[in-house]
A and B are shown apart, each in its own frame.
Chain A
Amino acid sequence: MTADETLLARWKEGDREAGMTLISRHYDAITRFFQTKAAREADDLVQRTFLACSEAASRYSGGGTFRAFLFGIARNVLYEHIRRDIRAGKHTDFHALSVADVHPGVSTQAARRAESRFLLRALQLIPIESQIIVELYYWEELSVGELAEALDIPPGTAKSRLHRARQQLKEALEQVPEEASDPRSARLLLAEWLEKLEGHDAMPVR
């Protein structure tokens, strides 16, 4: 299989098929990335990410994986969007701000099951930077090294941020408000689910 990097170079030279292949490889992951953070504008943001990617191709050093590079762009696109959206200043602190802060009442319809929605709500309560770290690591299976690249930080820092993000998520899970529309208590479902998942060190569920 042709490497992403090669495809990117070929696309840059005018090989449309290479561009299409590259897009199709990463379309789902990038869509997921925005679905949980800015669902309503997701299509537009996905497009902006790929556009920025094709434009930034020459700046891509090839020092890391293409995926990390692409998620790095997606993160910038997201932050730019939020800054514009909430008219936040240049120094908006994405280590403090959560999706729930930015878009109160944000939809969690992206998740299929009630338990997943519950978890998604928790993810939207923690700082956006932490949400990104957790999602990229667990859903997109980026390595700590790739995470570091995408976030433009040293691997050691990435590791400690991942640890902190997980702590934040654990705490957030206990603060998630119940939704009236939940067919059953999501908390209960979550507890059952966790039991099934042989989770010895499951976080406490009330």
Chain B
Amino acid sequence: MHLPSSQPAAPADPTVEREPTSGLEAMLRGVRLRQHGGLARELGMQLLAARLGAAEPPHVGRYRVVSKLGEGGMGVVFRAHDPLLSRDVALKVLRMEGGAEAATRMAAEARSLAAVAHPNVLAVHDVGVDDESAWIVTELVTGGTLREWVSAQTRSWQSIVERFLESARGLATAHRMGLVHRDFKPDNVLIGAEGRARVSDFGLARHQELLTELSAGSPGSSVIEGTASYLAPELLRGVPASAASDQYAFFVSLRELLGDRATGLADDLIAQGTQREPEARFDSMDAVIAELEDLLRPAARLSQPSLEDLVAIGQEATDRQSYLEAALGWVQRVVGYDTALLGRADREGELGPRIEGFEDTLLAQFREAPELYAPPLVGLELASAAARRPVTDTEVLSQRDRSMSAFHADLLGKKGTRVMAVAALAAAGKQLGSLQISRNARGTRFSDREQRLLAAAAPILALGLAAHEPRADEPTDGDVLLLRLWSRGLAVEDIATVTGSSVHAVAERIEDLCARLGGAP
């Protein structure tokens, strides 16, 4: 038996008559798929053969190729082992269509890239070039891309901004050396196992363009197709890439990954960084770094105010006005909240959603460091409950309670945060949802210390009360909180103190509310 060998390009069996060529058929035959050629294809094939026992693992230079990690517009990335230094590295084999000249130019630029030694720039170890292929050996970073990192779990806006701040430092260093990235995007930032961001693929876009130009018969630039949304408008007008166009891509990426986590302040930065005219953006990445550091600063101060600080605030304030002022200062200091917005006691209903945004952020951070983030979270929860309306919407409230229940479970499990757990429960407990205020709930008394601490969280409560203008005949958010604090055992005297009212007024209000809600004080 001897069958004709069948090559991929073998002519069709002539004994079977083919139909005459139609337009559709010509079109079908004209389709060209993007397939890796050269070294990348060779390595992929040899890895396959090695796995099937048909070959030894392939080598590139002194590096033994271990497995394929992935592929992108720029080429294929393999995991490789460097026996000389006894470590694993990443081997990126670049698409090569431009021949020796392009390869040489690429090598020259990769060498200058290797000179950028910065913790936030992917370290280039080695470069190799021959007539048909070019490859770059870099440190192996296993944490995935920034995009993957953000979607892997709940991230606070602060932690995302921190990764961008690191990326900005990497970009700034390269810019100072005259290197432009040209293709910054979340997929080109790698996150190490330790959480540090590294900007990768510096300048490769340029080579890619160069290769496209040099290689005959490949119309259109695949690079521009691939990452069009990150391209600064001036690049489309033919202006050469610059630090300013990198900055544009940086902010587009930031906006994309922050999504609806973006706060007003971050929005402002993004708006400036993505200005149409390059001159209207920030002067340099150094300026961007300063802005981002500023953005993170209030959050960084979270480590400073303690429960004891709050107690002090609560004790120093002698009247309602000073409570409010102290509360404003505290809120601003602790959560970087927009003081003006709070002070204005926003009537357009903007306050509620914004506080909710902080709540989510704080919740996420709380999971990372409960001791640190519990106080502001509780404070915000109080403020949020007080500011939100309508509070009688039980559906909304029970929904919120559900989202808070995981938090409560966490909180209650942590030693030392019980006090805050009690306060949080007081702020967001089930009673609020159903408005089932009853005397039965009075079973639990707070200890003196707990009362003191709860009172300390009260500036925010007072703030919430102040922000809310009650309507005549319905229990306000503040009223409900009042009841809840009271029903959880906080003394009328304390409630009066923290809300800046008289004992008599509080008692009367509670009595009135209980009567209306069908209970008895």
Query: Hey, which bits of chain A sit against chain B, CB under 8 A?
Result: 1-5, 11, 16, 19-20, 23-29, 31-32, 35-36, 43, 46-47, 50-51, 54, 62, 64-68, 109-116, 119-120, 134, 138-146, 166, 169-170, 173, 181, 183, 190, 193-194, 197-203
Contact = CB atoms under 8 A, between A and B. Distances in A.
A203 B45 CA distance: 39
Contact of B29 (A2, A23, A43, A138): A138
Given A16-B53, A183-B225, A193-B30, A141 B48 contact: no
Interface residues of B, number: 47
Given A23-B54, A120-B31, A138-B28, A143 B45 contact: no
B409 interface: no
Given A116-B31, A201-B23, 9 more contacts: A3-B4, A24-B49, A28-B41, A35-B35, A51-B52, A114-B220, A115-B27, A170-B24, A173-B24
Nearest to A68: B6
B44 A43 contact: yes
A19 B54 CA distance: 5
B6 A199 contact: no
Contact of B45 (A27, A54, A111, A112): A27
B33 A110 contact: yes
Contact of A119 (B6, B28, B228): B28
Contact of B228 (A20, A54, A181): A181
A27 B27 contact: no
Main DSSP-derived SS at the A contact region? helix
Interface string B64-107: 00001000000000000000000000000000000000000000
Contacts of A141: 9-12
B31 A111 contact: yes
Interface string B388-427: 0000000000000000000000000000000000000000
A31 B32 contact: no
B502 interface: no
Contacts of A32: 33, 35
B23 A24 contact: no
Contacts of B41: 27-28
B153 interface: no
Nearest to B5: A3
B239 interface: no
28 contacts: A1-B5, A3-B3, A16-B55, A19-B53, A19-B55, A20-B54, A23-B45, A23-B49, A25-B7, A25-B8, A26-B8, A29-B8, A35-B35, A62-B1, A65-B3, A110-B34, A112-B34, A112-B218, A138-B28, A143-B13, A143-B16, A183-B225, A193-B27, A194-B27, A197-B26, A200-B22, A201-B22, A203-B24
B13 A199 contact: no
A59 B31 CA distance: 34
A46 B24 contact: no
Contacts of A11: 54
A5 B31 contact: no
B27 A199 contact: yes
Contacts of B219: 113
A144 B19 CA distance: 11
Given A5-B3, A47-B51, A112-B34, A143 B25 contact: no
B471 interface: no
B449 interface: no
A23 B48 contact: yes
A153 to B, nearest CB: 15
Interface string B279-304: 00000000000000000000000000
Contacts of B237: none
A139 B31 contact: yes
Contact of A197 (B30, B35, B222): B30
B2 interface: yes
B13 A2 contact: no
Interface string B200-222: 00000000000000000011101
A146 B44 CA distance: 27
A66 to B, nearest CB: 6
Contacts of B23: 194, 197-203
Nearest to A201: B22
A139 B28 contact: yes
Contacts of A24: 45, 49
A146 to B, nearest CB: 7
A166 B24 contact: yes
Contact of B35 (A1, A31, A140): A31
Contacts of B7: 25
A120 to B, nearest CB: 7
A113 to B, nearest CB: 7
B495 to A, nearest CB: 56
A184 B513 CA distance: 66
Contacts of A199: 22-24, 26-27
A138 B25 contact: yes
A26 to B, nearest CB: 7
Contact of B34 (A51, A109, A203): A109
B304 to A, nearest CB: 47
A11 B55 CA distance: 11
B6 A50 contact: no
A37 B1 CA distance: 35
B6 A67 contact: yes
Given A26-B8, A111-B33, A3 B2 contact: yes
Nearest to B228: A181
A57 B39 CA distance: 29
Contacts of A112: 32-34, 218, 222
A199 B29 CA distance: 13
Of the listed residues B16, B51, B228, the one surrounded by the most CB atoms of chain A closer than 10 A to its CB is B16
A20 B12 contact: no
A20 B30 contact: no
Nearest to B54: A19
B310 to A, nearest CB: 50
A35 to B, nearest CB: 6
Of all A-B residue pairs in the complex, the 9 with the closest CB atoms, nearest first, are A199-B23, A19-B54, A202-B23, A143-B13, A67-B6, A138-B28, A197-B26, A143-B16, A3-B5
A24 B7 CA distance: 10
